Amino acid sequence: MSKCAAIQMASSPSISSNLLEAEKLIAEAAHAGAKLVALPENFALMGDNESDKVKVKEPEGTGPIQSFLASVAKKYAVWVVGGTIPIAGDAPNKVRAACLVFNDQGKQVARYDKIHLFDVSVPGTNEVYRESDSIEPGSDLQVFDTPFGRLGLAVCYDLRFPEFFRKMSEQGAEIVLVPSAFTAETGAAHWELLIRARAIENLCYIIAPDQGGFHLNGRKTFGHSMIVDPWGGVLAIQKSGSGFVMADIDRDRLEKVRSAFPVLNHRRFI
């Protein structure tokens, strides 16, 4: 059994300020006993404009944000799931929204580039998002072994695609991390429903750190960072404000649930 934490922030256009807050919350979670700590999407930068992320993109393997993640993972002896950070891609005017995972020695062990991009007009509001204007989509799943179980990675809008989570399940995912920055409107309507549904469908733990609060760019995000168990139970939730939630990831419970309720073995349409 391992304690894992999901951090909630309301990130700003100041990378230095965001990193200071992220380290403070990582330290608090580590001191509370967490062995894995996950940051939200865009934890290092919520810019005034979507193009701001392009100005601070980093080559893979080097740069201040990546150095920060490696440093805090080693300093606090925790695995760190680095939300998303802007990594250079093929197009000069775009980035990859990369979720990087560092082990407790500060070594990068996984990278997932966000696949499903948020190009939508939010019903009932004047909010319009076009992530594809500044982000290149990824194409590859990431499911890998950790001391806590077999871990899969998803980001925010990925939650709306159950086939994506089922593919991770087929690759043995027991825990799925979903760093997010859900809008206030879509979060109120769908956030908890989607997280619990993905957990229930795949009989897995979901750890979902979210941006939560008012941002200097005028955006409002939903918060309600949560950890959900394989039966769909909400183990912990941070409704508003910066902070973190923590819960035990119990692989024995996961195996008991999957054994007693073998829905994954009963599928007929593959």
Enumerate residues 6+ apart whose C-beta is below 8 A from 262.
none
Give the Cα-Cα-Cα angle 116, 17, 40 (nearest 5 degrees).
25
Annotated active-site residue 204? The verdict is: no
**In the chain, beta strands by DSSP E:** 2-8, 36-38, 79-81, 85-88, 95-102, 108-113, 119-121, 128-130, 135-136, 143-146, 149-153, 175-177, 205-208, 212-214, 220-222, 225-228, 234-238, 243-249
Enumerate residues 6+ apart whose C-beta is below 8 A from 1.
248, 249, 250, 251, 252
Q: Which of 114, 136, 174, 204 is catalytic?
A: 114
**Residue 110 and residue 142 in contact, taking contact as beta carbons nearer than 8 Å:** yes
Q: Which of 4, 35, 41, 99 is catalytic?
A: 41
Residues 182, 184, 190, 196, CA torsion sign: positive
Annotated active-site residue 74? The verdict is: no
Annotated active-site residue 41? The verdict is: yes
Q: Which of 57, 58, 131, 156 is catalytic?
A: 156
Amino acid at 175: I
Rounded Cα distance between 266 and 9, Å, is 40
Burial 219-257 (b: 16+ CB within 10 A, else e): bbbbbbbbbbbbeeebbbbbeeebbbbbbebbeeebeeb
Catalytic (active-site) positions = 41, 114, 156
